[in-house]
Amino acid sequence: MGTTYYCDSAGSNTSPYDTWAKAATSLQTLLDTVAAGDTVFARGTQLISAAFDVDTTTGSVDLPIKIVGCAADGSVDGTRLIVDAQDNAIDCFTFAVGMSYYYFINIEAKQAGSDGFSLEADSDANIFINCISHDHAGSGWSGGNVTDFCTFVRCAAYNNAAHGWNGMDNGHILFACAAYDNTESGFYDFDIYNVFLGCIAHDNGASGDYGFDIDNFGLLYNCIANGEVVGLNIHSDFMTVLASRFTNCGTGIDFSDEHTLLGWNLFHNNTADMANPAAIGGYEDATYANAIPYDADADTNEIDPDVDDGYNASGSDDLNLKASRTYNGDGSTVVKMNIGS
């Protein structure tokens, strides 16, 4: 079952750190202590001048290592452990080569002079749940194009001077994640086999930047890109884009002449809904880049409807995935997301 450890900056720092009364004062102490299958409960705020290095022990598929933020009373209720880099020229967390099968749950990384979470080569199959990463000089999460098969659930990256997510390479799954108000792109430079489900990118970048920037064999389903220079930029063939919304962008989707399967999407109030579609035969239209049809040749995508989009504007926080936020057009239903800022 593994060992349980505790971390609190106001703790007594008494080994073996196995109760709140004996809690380690620095999370680094426990990152250097844990073995596969162990769990760390951490509360409060960690003020750091050096990155927390995940570089000692890797977990396994059967014995992951869990770092869990919790409330002042020790309960796991969604309250996050805060890791504040205080604008030092560091990451908040640096994963060394091969550090895999970590669960980071309820963690806030803020104000790093570099990236929030930096994952080195083969730091694969890590899971982030209800984590936020913001106000960094770099990106919220950075994979260096060498990290695969991570999962992000209800995470957010915002107000970063670079990207929300950057260079995450292959096989990642992102569910109900948000990237917004980043200086460059939201979800940038994802390679192949990445899946985005219910994710939101809005108001990222100012010149030539993207909400989503994805390579081939990717899936974008039930997502939103709003207020972007380009809502979705596609690098190569075999993307599938379903039931998503592209609104108030310079260009909704730039296909980059790549083959794309497109169905049941909404395009509204973009300067250009689509650009550079590939001509590929079948039911394609030069405007729709191989749209999925219904009723013979009719296209399933909705282009510039004269109806309510289902949200109002990012300026009123409609797109931020906050804890208690109305998302439907008439504002009558509150969806408890328990994420965001």
- Domain final residue, candidates 84, 111, 135: 135
> Of 187, 194, 185, 242, nearest to 215 (Cα)?
194
Same structural domain, 339 and 214: yes
Beta-carbon contacts of 209 under 8 Å, excluding residues fewer than 6 positions away, are 184, 185, 228, 229, 230
Q: Which domain holds residue 214?
A: 170-341
State the pLDDT confidence band at 292, using cuts at 50, 70 and 90: confident
Same structural domain, 263 and 315: yes
Same structural domain, 198 and 125: no
Torsion of CA 288, 273, 187, 77, to 10 degrees: -100
Same structural domain, 213 and 319: yes
Domain-embedded: residue 332 = yes
Q: How far is CA 250 from the centre of its chain?
A: 22
Torsion of CA 18, 111, 147, 226, to 10 degrees: 120
- Domain final residue, candidates 82, 110, 135: 135
Give the tokens for residue 265.
């999407």
Mean pLDDT for the stretch of residues 199-223: 92
Domain-embedded: residue 161 = no
Same structural domain, 177 and 95: no
Core vs surface per residue 273-305: b (16+ CB within 10 A) or e: bbbebbeeeebbeeebbbbbbeeeeebbbeeee
The more confidently predicted of residues 201 and 206 is 201
Strands 298-299 and 266-268: unpaired
Domain-embedded: residue 205 = yes
Q: How far apart are CA 47 and CA 66, in angstroms?
A: 21
Same structural domain, 124 and 189: no
> Of 160, 116, 123, 112, nearest to 142 (Cα)?
116
Domain-embedded: residue 83 = yes
Mean pLDDT for the stretch of residues 101-110: 97
Percent of the chain with pLDDT over 70: 85
Mean pLDDT across the chain: 88
Domain-embedded: residue 141 = no
Give the tokens for residue 186.
């939201």
Same structural domain, 184 and 304: yes
Same structural domain, 47 and 128: yes
Domain-embedded: residue 102 = yes
Domain-embedded: residue 131 = yes
Q: Tell me phi and psi for residue 28, to 5 degrees.
A: -60, -35
Number of domains in the chain: 2
Among 196-200, 257-261, 306-310, 312-316, which range has the highest average pLDDT? 196-200
Torsion of CA 299, 302, 303, 307, to 10 degrees: 150
Which sign, positive or negative, has the C-alpha torsion 194, 117, 207, 169?
negative
Same structural domain, 197 and 80: no
Same structural domain, 107 and 48: yes
Domain-embedded: residue 223 = yes
Beta strands in 258-300 (DSSP E): 260-263, 266-268, 272-275, 293-294, 298-299
Same structural domain, 266 and 220: yes
First to last CA, the chain: 34
